[in-house]
């Protein structure tokens, strides 16, 4: 069962410029991402190296409409004791990359953990670790979605939808 998902997309600059190269994906790591990053993303990626280590991303499956990636790393959990060191635990989660609209979705990973896989995927597919950005939705996005659904429905479905 999926506990949560976070939606991202390629920025306008990289929307049609990403490509899947299995070798690049398998060799992607946060250290190279830091070296490639410029400006504001650089400290963000450096902070990721402090909460995650041994990060890897693999192309698990290619379907007609999307790519499925498996991300694994050792992730730092909160300190259990005030005097103790925060332990790192092994984690795995999935990322879907839709072919049609460059939408990226992470499953069962919080924001910080998702950022690890998103950074690795962005670097491996577009050569820029900041090429994928968080998709922000507001009320108008949901209104557009509702309007679009209503336009494609027949009259009986519309009546059920409005209830």
More confident site: 154 or 65: 65
Q: Give the model confidence (pLDDT) of 13-49 as tens digits.
A: 998 899 999 999 999 999 999 888 878 788 899 999 9
Q: Which residue has the tokens 């820029």?
A: 128
Q: Which residue has the tokens 């600059």?
A: 13
pLDDT of 135 reads 86
- Domain ranges within the chain, ordered by starting residue: 5-136
Q: Give the model confidence (pLDDT) of 114-144 as tens digits.
A: 999 999 999 999 999 999 999 887 888 777 7
DSSP state of 24: H
Greatest pairwise CA separation for the chain in angstroms: 65
More confident site: 83 or 111: 111
Which token pair is 91? 């984690």
User: In this model, does residue 64 exceed pLDDT 60?
Assistant: yes
pLDDT of 156 reads 59
Helix residue ranges, H only, the chain: 22-27, 30-36, 41-51, 111-126, 139-152, 155-162
Mean pLDDT for 75-100 is 83
Backbone angles phi, psi at 88, to 5 degrees: -105, 135
Q: Give the model confidence (pLDDT) of 137-151 as tens digits.
A: 788 877 777 777 667
Q: Helix 111-126 and helix 41-51: axis angle, to 10°?
A: 120
d(CA 103, CA 131): 12
pLDDT of 81 reads 60
d(CA 34, CA 36): 5
Backbone angles phi, psi at 149, to 5 degrees: -65, -45
What residues are paired with 66 via a beta bridge? Answer: 98
Which token pair is 124? 């491996």
């Amino acid at each position: 069962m999926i506990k949560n998902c976070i939606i991202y997309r390629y920025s306008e600059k990289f929307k049609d410029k990403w490509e899947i190269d299995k070798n690049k994906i398998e060799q992607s790591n946060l250290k190279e991402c830091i070296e490639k990053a410029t400006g504001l993303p650089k400290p963000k990626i450096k902070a990721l190296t402090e909460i995650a280590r041994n990060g890897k991303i693999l192309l698990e499956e290619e379907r007609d409409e999307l790519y499925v990636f498996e991300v694994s790393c050792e992730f730092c959990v909160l300190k259990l004791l005030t005097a103790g060191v925060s332990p790192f635990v092994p984690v795995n989660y999935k990322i879907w990359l839709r072919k049609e609209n460059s939408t990226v979705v992470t499953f069962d990973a919080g924001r910080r953990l998702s950022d690890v896989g998103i950074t690795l995927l962005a670097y491996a597919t577009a050569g820029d670790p900041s090429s994928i950005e968080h998709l922000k939705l507001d009320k108008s996005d949901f209104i557009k979605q509702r309007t679009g659904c209503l336009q494609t429905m027949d009259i009986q479905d519309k009546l059920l939808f409005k209830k």
